[in-house]
Structure 1
Amino acid sequence: MATIYIGGVGKADLKRLLEQRRDPTLNVVVSNDLEAGQLLKRRSDAYYIGTCHTGAGGSLGALMAFLGRQRCHTFGRQARVSVEEVQKLLAAGIRAFGVSVDQINTVVPVLVEAIQSYQPPRS
């Protein structure tokens, strides 16, 4: 089961979109960046999707402080993203994602699909 913390100015829209999936294997937690940053630092099985007007600064600022820049990725205003692209990011250790509010409906479904289907490499 994937746990995804969501926050930022578009968290209500993000929550509504994810609830429409009606997916019992998806645990969505409305949070804020400070709370989620602390939780993700302790948990390796959780992710964060932050939203702001650009998908960069405000959506990921606190997460960069908690996890480090190397564990965060912004899609910003990028409208096209593939499951394969996201899975490469996941394989590289990315766990916090920033999305602009006007790209929620385009980027987030692909992002969540990739998170749910991701199988970490076995060591």
Structure 2
Amino acid sequence: MLTIYVGGVGKVDVKRLLEQRRSPDLKIIASSDLEAGPAMKRNKDAYYIGTCHTGAGASLGAMLAFMGRQKCHTFGRQSKLTTKDVHSLLDSGVRAFGLSIDQINAIVPVLVDGLQSYKEKGGAS
């Protein structure tokens, strides 16, 4: 089971988008970064997707403090992403992702496809 915490100003939209996948191997939890941070420290198979208006800082907020900068990545306003890009980030230990709300439809599906395929192939969390 892949657990994804979603937070930030677009968490309702991200949760709705992920629920439309109807994937039985996907558990989506709408949360704040303050709630998700401690839970992610306990569950090494959990990931976080945070959203804000710019994708720069607030999308990750407290996740930087809980997880450390090396485990966080912001896509900002980047709209081009591949599964290979996601696998590279996961290989480097990233587990918390930030993006701007105007990039939800472009980034989230590719990000989640990358997370699921990485887990299926046995990649490290």
**Normalised TM-score (structure 2):** 0.94
In structure 1, runs of 5+ residues without a counterpart are: none
1:43 deviates by 1.4
Superposition deviation, residue 42 in structure 1: 1.6
Deviation string, structure 1 residues 61-108 (Cα, Å, up to 9, x no partner): 200000100000000000000000010100110000001000000000
Aligned-residue CA RMSD (Å): 0.8
Counterpart of 1:15, as a letter, is K
Q: Aligned to 1:47, what secondary structure does the other structure show?
A: strand
Percent identical residues: 64
Q: Distance in 2 between matches of 1:61 and 1:52?
A: 10
Distance 2:41 2:58 in 1: 19
Residue in structure 1 matched with residue 43 of structure 2 by the alignment = 43
Question: Which residue in 1 is equivalent to 2:31?
Answer: 31
- The residue number in structure 2 matching 1:12 is 12
* Aligned twin of 2:70: 70
Give the equivalent residue in structure 2 for 1:120.
Answer: 123
Q: Deviations over 1:20-55 (max 9, x none)?
A: 111111000011000101111121100000000111
Matched, 1:104 2:107: no
Q: Secondary structure at the match of 1:40?
A: helix
C-alpha separation in 1, matches of 2:93 and 2:13: 26
Count of residues in correspondence between the two structures: 121
Q: After the TM superposition, list the runs of 4 or more consecutive aligned residues in structure 1 that deviate by more than 4 angstroms.
A: none
- 2: CA distance between counterparts of 1:53 and 1:14? 14
CA distance in 2, matches of 1:54, 1:82: 21
What amino acid maps onto 1:111 in structure 2?
A: L
Matched ranges for 1:75-90 at <5 A: 75-90=75-90
Following the alignment from structure 1 to structure 2, what is the Cα–Cα distance between the partners of residues 114 and 75?
Answer: 14
